[in-house]
């Protein structure tokens, strides 16, 4: 009987996001007769605190906290985190270390190398790149340093997984990773595990949520004017960060409102840009048109409340949210960034527009609001594509080949 392999997954933060979902899906769904799984990650903060650890625990996956991991750069904390990881390596004795997120990549890479040197044990090391940090809008000197750090980080690993072919090509073109080492594996979703609430019920629940908590962009005591049955609803899910491009989405909504087009906008997510977005909503007098729902765990179950899904992101890898919206049979408008063109083919199963361009985004939204047949066509075609091409089973099958 073949001995089971022990895998240690490492991630910087255990908040619930795309990278965390990636780790969770692999950790919980790998064949239990072939793999023993352990997860280690930094402590979570904010409304999503503890969700990943809790969900892993429910599935009997051991979770180790790396107390010194944090998002901001702190050399001392990262030095201590390296020793925390080294301790976990000695305690768990894994056959494979699989790391996600940039900061974890560097620190865990060094710790894994030390572990191999100190124990003479074989240890396969894998690093998943969800998106290259040097593609963000930054000063030139920062981009140079990030590229150097990324190149050094990749040296510690036997294989680099990119979640898109685009990510792989960017890594090769910038001489950060070799052709031999980089392997693209698309994210997939657990098709049988997504339970959507139907349109009428999900709208009713969201309306009740807004009435109970009050839309924070409204004046104190005001009631949101949100009709749950007849209006067109458009919306998105995602963290309120600059990279998600919500500022351009709200600008696009303002342009359409100025033209007298009636619809409501729902944004599900929390994050550091919340106050800025609230200010933007108020300054544009959109308090009764744009609703911030805050963080909702398993927000995908409410997607059928929408008529159109809009994804305005500036920087992405291969977003799960688009796949979830496709499985919910929604027509999708997205920006062209990262691996998204490997998901959606423009004017075939969705609409793609350039990022950071509220004018183009508004034009695409208006086009779909005014054309129900086109909405239905895109929704049906992309739903079929998700079912055929982007399953979690396929992702796991391709990942296991790298573990072998």
- Answer whether 207's CB lies under 8 Å from 274's CB: no
- 310-327 pLDDT, tens digit per residue, is 999 999 999 999 999 999
- Residues 329, 381, single domain; the answer is yes
Beta-bridge partner residues of 250 = none
* pLDDT tens per residue across span 143-202: 999 999 999 999 999 999 999 999 999 999 999 999 999 999 999 999 887 889 999 999
Is residue 118 within 8 A of residue 110, CB to CB? The reply is: no
- The Cα 377–Cα 185 span in angstroms is 28
Confidence band (pLDDT; 50, 70, 90) for 284? very high
**CB atoms inside a 10 Å sphere around CB 190:** 15
Q: Sign of dihedral through CA atoms 24, 26, 32, 34? A: negative
Whether residues 367 and 398 share a domain: the answer is: no
Mean pLDDT, rounded, of the chain: 91
For 278, residues 6+ apart whose C-beta sits below 8 A from its C-beta are 216, 217, 292
Residue closest to 386 by CA, chosen among 338, 345, 334: 345
Q: Are residues 87 and 178 in the same domain?
A: yes
pTM higher than 0.75 for the full model?
A: yes
Both tokens of 287, joined, read 């308090």
Are the C-beta atoms of residues 268 and 235 closer than 8 Å to each other? yes
Check whether residue 67 and residue 160 sit in a common domain.
Answer: yes
Q: Do 334 and 357 share a structural domain?
A: yes
Find tokens 């765990």 and name the residue: 297
Structural domains in the chain (count): 2
Q: Which of 263, 306, 251 is nearest to 288 (CA)?
A: 263
**What is the phi-psi region of residue 221: left when phi exceeds 0, alpha when psi lies from -120 to 50, beta otherwise?**
left
- CA 130, distance to chain mean position in Å, is 9
Domain hosting 303: range is: 194-389
pLDDT in tens, 88-105: 999 999 999 999 988 899
pLDDT at position 221, please?
44
β 96-100/5-13 pair status: parallel
pLDDT at 46 over 60: no
Q: How many CA atoms lie within 13 A of 125 on its CB side?
A: 22
Same-domain check for residues 181 and 242: no
Domain match, 244 and 347 both: yes
Cα–Cα distance measured from residue 63 to residue 9, given in angstroms and rounded to the nearest whole number: 9
Chain mean position to CA 260: 33
The CATH number assigned to the domain holding 181 equals: 3.40.50.2000
């Amino acid at each position: 009987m073949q001995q089971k392999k022990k895998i240690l997954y490492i991630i910087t933060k255990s908040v619930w996001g795309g990278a965390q979902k990636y780790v969770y899906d692999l950790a919980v769904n790998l064949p239990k007769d072939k793999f023993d799984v352990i997860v280690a990650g930094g402590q979570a903060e904010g409304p999503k605190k503890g969700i990943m650890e809790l969900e892993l625990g429910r599935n009997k996956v051991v979770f180790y906290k790396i107390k010194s991991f944090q998002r901001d750069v702190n050399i001392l904390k990262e030095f201590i985190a390296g020793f925390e990881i080294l301790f976990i390596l000695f305690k768990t004795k894994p056959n494979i270390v699989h790391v996600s997120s940039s900061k974890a990549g560097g620190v865990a890479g060094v710790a894994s190398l030390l572990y191999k040197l100190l124990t003479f044990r074989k240890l396969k090391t894998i690093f998943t790149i969800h998106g290259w940090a040097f593609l963000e809008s930054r000063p030139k000197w920062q981009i140079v340093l990030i590229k150097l750090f990324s190149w050094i980080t990749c040296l510690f690993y036997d294989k680099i997984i990119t979640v898109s072919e685009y990510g792989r090509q960017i890594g090769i073109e910038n001489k950060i990773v070799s052709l031999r080492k980089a392997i693209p594996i698309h994210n997939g979703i657990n098709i049988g595990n997504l339970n959507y609430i139907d349109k009428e019920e999900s709208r009713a629940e969201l309306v009740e949520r807004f009435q109970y908590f009050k839309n924070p962009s409204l004046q104190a005591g005001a009631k949101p004017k949100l009709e749950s049955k007849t209006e067109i609803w458009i919306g998105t899910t995602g963290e309120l960060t600059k990279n998600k491009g919500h500022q351009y989405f709200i600008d696009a909504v303002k342009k359409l409102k100025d033209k007298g087009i009636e619809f409501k906008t729902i944004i599900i997510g929390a994050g550091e840009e919340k106050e800025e977005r609230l200010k933007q909503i108020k300054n544009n007098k959109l308090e009764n048109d744009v609703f911030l729902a805050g963080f909702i765990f398993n927000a995908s179950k409410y997607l059928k409340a929408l008529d159109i899904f809009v994804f305005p992101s500036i920087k992405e890898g291969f977003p799960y949210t688009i796949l979830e919206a496709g499985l919910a049979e929604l027509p999708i408008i997205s920006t062209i960034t990262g691996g998204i063109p490997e998901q959606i083919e423009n004017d075939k199963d969705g609409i793609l527009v350039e990022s950071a361009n509220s004018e183009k985004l508004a034009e695409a939204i208006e086009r779909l609001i005014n054309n129900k047949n086109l909405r239905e066509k895109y929704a049906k075609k992309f739903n079929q594509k998700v079912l055929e091409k982007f399953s979690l089973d396929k992702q796991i099958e391709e990942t296991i080949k790298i573990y072998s």
